[in-house]
Amino acid sequence: MNGYWIATVQKPTETAFYNFTKTFVLSQKAISFEINVSADTRYKLYVNENFVCEGPCQGGKDTQYFESADAVEFLHVGENTLRIYVQHVVGDMFLSEYRREQPAVWFSSTLKLETGEKTEIVSDKTWACSEDLGAKTHVCKDMHITMPPNETVFFDKAEKTHEIEELYKPCLETKCVTRWGDAQKYMLAPRPIPLFHAEEARELKPERTGENFFEFDAEEYTTAYVRVRFKAPKGYAVRIIYSECRAFEEHYHDEDGDLRVRTIKKNRDDAEGKIFGAYDLLYGAGETREHTFFWFRAFRYIRIECDVPFEVQLFTARYVYPFTKFACREGVGSFVSNQKMLDDMWKISINTVECCTHETFVDCPYYEQGQYSMDGLLESLFALRLSNDTSMPKKFIEDLARGQNAEGLVPAKAPCTFDQLIPTFALFWVMTVREYLRYTADAEFAKKYTGTIDKVLECFNSFIDERGLVGETHYWNFIDWVPEWSRNGSIDEGRTTLTVYSMIYAAALVDAADIAEKCGRHGLAAEYRERKAALVCAINEHCYDEEKGMYTDVPGRRLFSRHTTIWAVLSGCAYGMAAKVLIERTFAYNDVSLTTFSMNYFTFRALEKTGLYEKYAPSVFGGWKKMLDLNCTTWCENPDSPRSECHGWSSTPMYEISAMVLGVYPTEDGFAKARIAPVSVPEGFRASGRVPIPEGYIDVAVSRVGEKMSLSVNASREIELEIKLPGYEAEKAYTKKYFAECKIL
């Protein structure tokens, strides 16, 4: 592939939009037009003003992805125009996008004509570049009210011409040939996930109008491309404001006595609440203009306003990773029941997962859009319950692995233009590799990361203190957004030895041993198990409070939380009857810090492991029930008045419905064997659903009439099933279809 990276000679100081264009003439019909394209920072490619693709897919700090497409359908005999519309980001906007100092594009294509003749069209100095002066964008960084300025600009022209220069010819990541072996920065690699496009646009009708404003309700939280058709007087700014929900202002005095304003969220449909937050600006030209914004926006409500009367139409095109499209052999998860609450939880979970999945798993689509390790572990699991497409979990694992530092820590989030380190998040990344292997049996892929895993664990081994515990790490020791803890999500700002860090390390050693065993690294597996056993001994010696009968949050201090209890169970510090007693005791105490949505998945797993799921799970679901009562259409980041209205890690109900209500779980990697064990089914309950498995699915229907429970299973292939019904010993069957009825004991 040929072509130069071409860029503007000028190095801009503000985020702006650019058009790189090339015109060429065809004397005869083309039969193929194979294109490869990338840009800095984001681009949309048009051939004769027909949209072809966008990107580049978000990648690693040293690798830039390119997209490939055949755009022959948009060519015609005569003059043709290529346009690469580029958004070049400056400063701290869109931190998940790596960028150079200049807006730049790379384009390489092969054009084949009817006669068989071939020609290349590539990026070079024959291209032209102009800056689009008609739009600006703003990213909202926090949840406090952010209002756009009353800005007026004399809109005397639509664009500014730029001189371009040829930088260098890029090389592919696997074929980088330089005389002295020097590696280029931003080596090119093919896009690792399929191309996908926004859904068909729909027009939103305003629910409220005034002399100088229009307000729109999308009816549910969504991520979408926004297109605005408007007419405003020349030079006046039209402000498009995006809000996750309607909210309220509350004035208060801070510790210094200064008057402040904070945001209060109530019922998400409360018509009295305000619309505020991130915004875009468009400038009037005295005639009708139309503009499609470059990147998706997250919103439930939109307000469009101007200082003078104006006209506007609003169109939105939902933009999410299409899990269902890329699933194979009907491998799409589903659920339906005669309980509205469960059906609503399933629907909201899907909307949350989809709104948090684009080219990466994002923590929240409205704010930083960061792909965090802990979030990604949970989102990968939820995605694998939604679809048997594995592209996104694989990309997540690779994105984080690319960012491993010299010490051994995988970054807290990646891609990102700066390094953020939360030590346990590297352990959650290790757990993601184990879960991916559990659901796919793809040991070949997992084996590539055994070295990365070992380096993570060696880093944690270096944190071990004289007691045999994970000591101070000197990084951000985040645990959970517990209200009574410090503002940074840890205990005492995390500047101390935290029991739960040793426990999570122990649990990660178990998963790492399993991975090593599956990949033929038996000696390494044995080493991890020995290290885990020593760690558990140290935890039980130094972190257990005999008087309270619980593990302390900090060794030697009488602070307690559910977090140490659940990880004591999951790491094997407590097991059997001791683990069950520990859970019972923890749930009985009122002076114990509770887990929130980010940790509730692990709470459920500890309850499942101790046989106490049916007893205590309903109380843990209380936070989600509260969100239903508040008419949330996605799951929030944390309870009470959350910063983010849409957070992928909160979609645990999807997993619980699939794995516990339907009861489907792989007992051997890749669903070579599976357990079907629905939790206790209430009188009159009916539910059915599909759980995706590699290249297929398992359908389950469960119901109860009186004391009789019915279970039917239909798999797309023969599979060894372990059937566990309430009150009965497990039964094994090797079959595609299974049906049983029993009396509830």
Full domain range(s) for residue 125:
6-132+167-190
Which pTM was predicted? 0.92
Q: Which two three-digit tokens encode residue 298? A: 């997250």
What residues contact 180, with CB distance under 8 A and at least 6 apart? none
Q: What is the pLDDT of residue 259?
A: 82
pLDDT tens-digit series, residues 501-529 = 999 999 999 999 999 999 999 999 999 99
The pLDDT of 79-89, averaged and rounded, is: 93
d(CA 287, CA 284): 7
Query: Exposed, middle or buried: residue 317 (CB in 10 Å: 0-12, 13-18, 19+)?
Result: middle
Q: Which two three-digit tokens encode residue 330? A: 């009907």
- Confidence band (pLDDT; 50, 70, 90) for 362? very high
d(CA 676, CA 686): 16
pLDDT tens-digit series, residues 536-567 = 999 999 999 999 999 999 999 999 999 999 99
pLDDT tens-digit series, residues 405-451 = 999 999 999 988 888 999 999 999 999 999 999 999 999 999 999 99
The pLDDT of 245-252, averaged and rounded, is: 86
Range scoring the smallest mean pLDDT among 67-76, 271-280, 336-345, 599-608:
271-280
d(CA 627, CA 605): 22
Residues 293, 175 within the same domain = no
Q: Are 217 and 275 in contact (CB under 8 A)?
A: no
Into how many domains does the chain fold?
A: 2
d(CA 87, CA 95): 14
Please indicate whether residue 87 or residue 427 has the higher confidence score (pLDDT). Answer: 427
- Confidence band (pLDDT; 50, 70, 90) for 175? low
Residues 298, 270 within the same domain = yes
**441 assigned to some structural domain:** no
Q: Select from 477, 360, 369, 337 the least CA-distant residue to 56.
A: 360
CATH of the domain at 305: 2.60.120
| Percent of all residues in the chain with a pLDDT value above 70, rounded to a whole number | 93
**599 assigned to some structural domain:** no
Range scoring the smallest mean pLDDT among 250-264, 638-652, 655-669:
250-264
For the chain, the first-to-last Cα distance in angstroms comes to: 68
Residues 27, 118 within the same domain = yes
Residues 177, 250 within the same domain = no
d(CA 613, CA 607): 5
pLDDT at 224 over 90: yes
Query: Which of residues 278, 300, 318 is at a domain's end?
Result: 318
**237 assigned to some structural domain:** yes
Query: Which of residues 297, 318, 339 is at a domain's end?
Result: 318
Residues 98, 183 within the same domain = yes
Residues 218, 309 within the same domain = yes
Q: Are 196 and 322 in contact (CB under 8 A)?
A: yes
Q: Are 134 and 283 in contact (CB under 8 A)?
A: yes
Residues 63, 17 within the same domain = yes
d(CA 78, CA 279): 41
**495 assigned to some structural domain:** no
Q: What is the pLDDT of residue 152?
A: 36
- Confidence band (pLDDT; 50, 70, 90) for 181? low
| Percent of all residues in the chain with a pLDDT value above 90, rounded to a whole number | 72
pLDDT tens-digit series, residues 470-510 = 998 889 999 999 988 988 899 877 778 899 999 999 999 99
What dihedral do alpha carbons 457, 462, 468, 470 form, nearest 10°?
-70
The residue behind tokens 């009150």 is: 727
- Tell me how crowded residue 392 is: count the other CB atoms within 10 A of its CB: 24
> What does each C-alpha distance from 665 to 49, 385, 409, 677 come to in angstroms?
49, 10, 31, 8
Residues 40, 177 within the same domain = yes
Residue-averaged pLDDT of the chain: 90
Residues 37, 172 within the same domain = yes
Residues 123, 245 within the same domain = no
**425 assigned to some structural domain:** no
CATH of the domain at 57: 2.60.120.260
**232 assigned to some structural domain:** yes
Q: Are 207 and 304 in contact (CB under 8 A)?
A: no
The pLDDT of 274-288, averaged and rounded, is: 88
What is the SS3 assignment for 33?
strand
Looking at 89-141, which runs of residues are DSSP E strands? 104-113, 118-122, 128-132, 135-137
Residues 179, 314 within the same domain = no
pLDDT tens-digit series, residues 302-345 = 999 999 999 999 999 999 999 999 999 899 999 999 999 999 99
Q: What is the pLDDT of residue 295?
A: 86
Q: State the DSSP code for 357.
A: B
d(CA 240, CA 289): 14
pLDDT tens-digit series, residues 118-168 = 999 999 999 999 998 866 665 544 333 333 343 333 334 467 888 999 888
Residues 29, 175 within the same domain = yes
Q: Select from 676, 666, 648, 673 the least CA-distant residue to 740.
A: 676
**363 assigned to some structural domain:** no
**371 assigned to some structural domain:** no
- Confidence band (pLDDT; 50, 70, 90) for 626? very high
